[in-house]
Amino acid sequence: MTRPIRVVVVDDSAMMRRFITDMLQRDPAIQVVGVASNGREAIELVQQLRPDVVTMDVRMPVMDGVATTEHLMAYCPTPILVLTASLASYDVDITFKMLGAGALEVVEKPRGSDPQALEHAARDLVRRVKILSRVKVVTHLRGRRRALNDGSPSPPASLDHQALPPEAPPHPAITPASIPASANASDASLCPVVVIGASTGGPRIIHQIIAGLPRSFPAAVLIVQHIAEGFSDGMAEWLASAGTLPVQIAQEGAPVRPGKALIAPDRRNLLVTHQGTIHLSDAPLLMQRPSIDITMQAIADVYGSRAIGVLLTGMGRDGAYGMLSLYRRNAYTIAQDEASCAISGMPRAAIQLGAVREVLPPTAIAPRLVELVASMGFKVNG
C-alpha cells in the first residue's frame, strides 16, 4: 500500500488549522502529521517529522511566513504551499516574498459558508498538495547567508535536437480569426518580443530574469504564469520591484512596447495583433487559461524571427506546442534546465518535440536574452 502524503499545517488560527486539516484528511491519500501556530514551531516540526508538504500561513507571531520559508528552504528544504487569508497588497507582498524565498505555490485560504464553494476549495487544496508532494525541492542558500549576516544560528549547454515531428497540432482554441488584424499594420515596425511561460515554481525564476534585464532593454516582455486567481496583480507589483523594467497587467488594446513587461491577467488568454497591440481572449476554457501555448502561437504568427520563447518550470505540456510554433517561425527558443526546475514537465515536453534551441539555468537566461536581442540589431545599453 502506498504511503500517504504527510503534511504539516502552519497557521496562527486554531480554527483555520482544524479547517485545513479536516479538508486535507478527507482524502485518504493525505495525512496531516503535525500542526504549528507560528514559524518557530513549524521549523521544529518540519525538522522532526520531515513531511512531504507544508501549508504555510503568511502573517504569524514569533516568525512570519517569509522568515520561516527562508529558514526551511535553507536548512530543511520542503515543498511549501502558501495559504493567505487576504489579497490586500501587504499580504500579497509578503506572499510573493515567500515565493521568492522558495515556496512553490500560493492559494487563497478557503472561506465563506457556501458548501459548493468550500467543496471546490477543498478539492483544489488537495490537488495542489498532491502535486507539490512530488516535487524534489533544492536548498536555497539565501536563508543561510541571512543567518550568517544576522549572527543567528544556524555554463549554458547547447541542445542536440531531435527531428521535428511532421505535424504538431495547433492549440484547438486558436484560429486565424482569433487575432484581430489590420490591413494597414506594418509587421516591420514591430519591436522584438520575449514571451515567457511558467507554472509551479515560476514566479521566483521570472523575478530573477526581470531583475537581470537592463532599463534600456529594447524588446517587449510578455509573461504567462499559471497562478491562483486573484494573484496576478500582486505578481505584477512584485516583479516591478525586481529591477528597472516596468511590469503591468496586460490590458485590451495596450501597445506592445520595448522595455516594458506585461502579464496575462486572470483567466484571459493573451494574444497580440499585427498592429503590435494586446488582445485578450475569453475563448472557451478548454484547458489552462491563460494558456502559454495560445500566447506563444500568437507571437509566432505576428513576430516570427523577432520573437524569443522561454519556457520555465511547470507540470504538464502547456507551452510545448507554442515553443514549436516559435521554432518553426525561426524564433529563438530557450528552456529552463531540469536541475533547477521545481517540476520539469513543461520544458521537457518542449525538448521532446525538438522545439528548443538552448537549455539554460535561470542565472544565464537574462544575459542570453540581452545577447539575442542585440544580435537582432537592437542596441542594448547597460
Q: Which residues are catalytic?
A: 199, 226, 318
**DSSP calls for 175-206:** -GGGS---TT--GGGPPPEEEEEE-TTHHHHH
Pairing of strands 157-158, 358-360: antiparallel
The whole-angstrom separation of Cα 66 and Cα 98 is 5
Strand partners for 36: 10
Question: What DSSP character marks residue 255?
Answer: B
Which strands sit side by side in the sheet containing 30-36, from one edge to the other?
A: 30-36, 5-10, 53-56, 80-84, 105-108
Torsion of CA 32, 84, 225, 335, to 10 degrees: -50
Task: Calculate the alpha carbon distances from 150 to 97, 145, 154 in Å.
Answer: 19, 9, 10
Taking each continuous run of H as one helix and of E as one strand, the counts in the chain are 12, 15
Enter the C-alpha cell of residue 178: 482569433
Please tell me the number of Cα atoms within 13 Å of 275 on its side-chain side. Answer: 13
Cis previous bond, 290, omega within 30: yes
Cα–Cα distance, 111 to 85 (Å, whole number): 8
Long-range contacts, stretch 88-94, CB < 8 angstroms, 24+ apart: 89/234, 89/237, 91/58, 91/59, 92/231, 92/233, 92/234, 92/237, 92/238, 93/234, 93/237, 93/238, 94/58, 94/59, 94/64, 94/65, 94/66
